[in-house]
Amino acid sequence: MKFSKITSCMLTLAVFIAVNLNAQSVEGTRQGVKFATQNMDIQIEFYSNNIVRVFKTPQGFPYNKKSLSVVKSPEMISVKSTQKGNKTVLESSSIQVEVNPETGGISLYDSNGKLLLKDKDFGTQFSATDDAGTPSYTVREGFLLDSDEAIYGVGQIMDNKFSRRNSSHHMQNENMSTYSPYFMSVKGYAVFWDNYSISKFNDNAQELSFEGLGHCVDYYFMYGKNADGVIAQVRDLTGKAPMLPLWAYGFFQSKERYHTEDESLEVLKKYRNLKVPIDVVIQDWRYWPEFNKSDSLWNSQSFDRQRFPNPKKWVDEIHKLNAKLLIVTWPGFGPKTEQRKEFDSKKMIINFDTWPPKSGARPYDVYNPEALNIYWRYLNKGIFSYIGNDGWWLDSTEPDHINRKDSDYDLPTHLGSYRSVKNAYSLMHNKGIAVNQRKSNDSKRAVILTRSGFIGQQLYGSNTWSGDVVSSWEMLEKQIPAALNYTLMGIPNWNSDIGGFFAGGWKKDGGNKNPEFQELYVRWMQFGAFCPMMRSHGTDLPREIWNFGERGTWCFDAQEKSIKLRYSLLPYIYSTSWDVSSNNGTFMRPLIMDFVSDKNTHNIGNEYLFGRSILVAPVTKYKAKEWSVYLPNGIDWYDFWTNAYIKGGQTIVTESAVDEIPLYIKAGTILPFGPNVQYATEKKWDNLEIRIYPGADGEFTLYEDENDNYNYEKNIYSIIKFKWTDKTKMLTIENREGSFPGMLKSRVFKIMVAGPNTAVGDSSGQPGKNISYKGKKIVLKL
């Protein structure tokens, strides 16, 4: 029978089953069932053909749960219900759910009846507990996986592991540790346990389990057949990722900290004089009045008039230099700030000490909707509408917890104890700023750099960085699998401090001139060029390029080479941004996303695809003259630097020149290269090189719009589709679709076919076939 637009009698269908005394009748609901067993009330509801929600509460204690992450409402779909012995089977077009009303066990299958996951018989536990004076429960949910089933996600974890099997984690979001109760399987499904408390994740030979604080077990099973499909379901459930502006994919320079407005302006001017590309400078903390450095005015969201005498003019000067400004703001406020006084008066402060130590600064209650609006009111008046900055650096969004006491987690928030909602702090803080900024100014896309995250945060244009990591080779190596697991949670934007934040250990033997630190910094920058945000930042040692030497020295030249490569790839990167936003794509793609049938990829976390075409294998060892790279089976590859053609399905050992990161291009790739620019929007893309890598059929969609604002949501953009047919060596450039103000009406594409005698790396000056394109279909024989 169908549970869709069906009769009322079918909506209230009850199937009675003879079971033990704990099990009661299974009652049909609109798109699922509900029943009681094992002292629990259980409800199963299809949110779509691919998403099922399972909701459990102690029997007789209903709970009205409002999710902080989930934005989707259940779709009206067709769900068939049948009986299989004493079990009830629910079936959509994609998923079958088998319910055992006696044990509470739930088995989830694909549409062909292949078992995907089991919610264990007797696997749910509610243990009564006192949550800061409120009766609550320690809740636990157990699942059964195949013994050889690889899983991913859980969070950004600095343990240098990729698969999360046979691991245990205390899920508490802190600096450098960012968790969500979520895992994805190589079988093409994922589970999001919708709980924000300090929690536990544990996987062992017996089961996989989540355990935390709450009044319910509430999880979503999402089936996508593969990793891309799963991420599409995550975004359908918790929010799509908006596009960032084109400039956000340029190079960012930051430090701890620029002390005056003149200092940051001089940095930009020097980059421009050196003709090294840059788009963004970031202003770190203490631009506000320091009140004799007592920090009582910490995060006042105002400017010290001695060091920042004319902040509006300062930002105007940054814009005249064709650059953008991100400025830091914190969740905590010093005791003498106006914000703190208002939040205190309205009981909207969580009363524990946050950064900086001994300042008396305390964080505001992000779980209170009114508090989010108050925070923005001050931020907008003191900074955004006043100086016209271009984005935000949201530091300490876990937030920092000074002199941590266990009793602090019992402190009240708008939604209950701090312990019960802690892990969603960053999600709510980012939401308040992104949503309110858009209400204030819809013509500027929100750009947020943030130190923590939670599933759903992708909805707010947030780019999570890995925190205050130490500057070491070991930490560089750990960044890669941490990033890949984080992005497999459906949150596409991630970056790290290029060079690592704490670099004091390198001050000996010359600091920035220390050869090992120079090489570490260059290797980290090469990795950063293939992250969604490319951002240099740190303390102890300055990171601006000239601190490492002059042009003509290897360290300067190697950095410039990486930065310029990043800018030449902007047409590819911005088109990937469109794929992320429009098609639920992913920037940093673990090899299991595209090559899951190659089991060799299941535990490779030290290389990845950037976009859908470029395999990146960062070098993470000192003085590595050679580097091993696995090229997945099922496709052949080109060495980006030499154009050597290499068969897939093998590990190769490549030379690792210190100024080149190992890069491999999939056969069938169509790769656009942009002009030589000093900032992202300096030149129009009227003369792009289009490089074809033969050996397989391929497609690419070149995306263009106004580079900022939200007009793309109104279909104000254009796309040009390229198609390569390898057998006939035919390139088809389709009719341009769409339009936007300022769009190029005609342009030249320089077509290159990769091979031993064509371009390598930088193809400037190499021969190619120039094609005039005016928006109409062209078919070329190459």
Find the catalytic residue in 91, 398, 544, 706. 398
- The answer to whether residues 265 and 317 touch, using CB atoms and an 8 Å cutoff, is yes
- The answer to whether residues 453 and 428 touch, using CB atoms and an 8 Å cutoff, is no
Output the CA–CA distances (angstroms, integers) from residue 766 to 148, 691, 693, 770, 780, in the order listed. 49, 12, 16, 12, 19
- The answer to whether residues 695 and 682 touch, using CB atoms and an 8 Å cutoff, is no
Question: Is 706 known to be catalytic?
Answer: no
* C-alpha to C-alpha distance for 215 and 631, rounded to whole angstroms: 47
Structure tokens at 34: 């509900």
CB under 8 Å to 273, separation ≥6 — which residues? none
Question: Is 557 known to be catalytic?
Answer: no
Q: Which of 554, 546, 541, 673 is CA-nearest to residue 275?
A: 546
Residue 719 neighbours by CB distance under 10 Å: 16
Q: Which of 495, 396, 428 is CA-nearest to residue 156?
A: 495
Q: Residue count of the chain, please give it.
A: 782
Find the catalytic residue in 41, 211, 295, 468. 468
Q: Residue for token digits 């950064």?
A: 355
* C-alpha to C-alpha distance for 285 and 334, rounded to whole angstroms: 13
Q: Which residues pair with 671 in a beta bridge?
A: 691
* Phi, psi for 267 (deg, rounded to 5): -60, -50
Q: What is the phi-psi region of residue 12: left when phi exceeds 0, alpha when psi lies from -120 to 50, beta otherwise?
A: alpha
* Phi, psi for 548 (deg, rounded to 5): -100, -5
Q: Which of 612, 616, 613, 608 is CA-nearest to residue 590?
A: 608
* C-alpha to C-alpha distance for 214 and 58, rounded to whole angstroms: 11
Output the CA–CA distances (angstroms, integers) from residue 473 to 477, 534, 562, in the order listed. 6, 18, 19
* Phi, psi for 484 (deg, rounded to 5): -65, -40
CB under 8 Å to 244, separation ≥6 — which residues? 445, 447, 461, 463, 493, 577
Cis peptide before 257, with omega less than 30 degrees from 0?
A: yes
Output the CA–CA distances (angstroms, integers) from residue 588 to 532, 577, 624, 628, in the order listed. 8, 11, 24, 20
Question: Residue 476: enclosing H or E segment and its boundaries?
Answer: helix 473-487
Strand boundaries in 550-619, DSSP class E: 588-590, 608-610, 614-616
Q: What is the phi-psi region of residue 541: left when phi exceeds 0, alpha when psi lies from -120 to 50, beta otherwise?
A: beta
* C-alpha to C-alpha distance for 469 and 501, rounded to whole angstroms: 5
Residue 178 neighbours by CB distance under 10 Å: 32
* 251-253 vs 534-536, strand pairing mode: parallel
Find the catalytic residue in 102, 211, 353, 395. 395
Helix 261-274 / helix 311-320 crossing angle, nearest 10 deg = 10
Question: Is 468 known to be catalytic?
Answer: yes
Helix 369-379 / helix 425-440 crossing angle, nearest 10 deg = 50
DSSP state of 383: I
* C-alpha to C-alpha distance for 211 and 138, rounded to whole angstroms: 7
Residue 616 neighbours by CB distance under 10 Å: 24
Structure tokens at 283: 């202003």
**Strand, coil or helix: 764:** coil
DSSP string computed for 646-667: E-SSEEEEEE--TT---EEEET
Structure tokens at 130: 């006192």
DSSP string computed for 145-170: --TT--EEEEEE-SSS-S--TT-EEE
Known catalytic residues are: 395, 398, 468
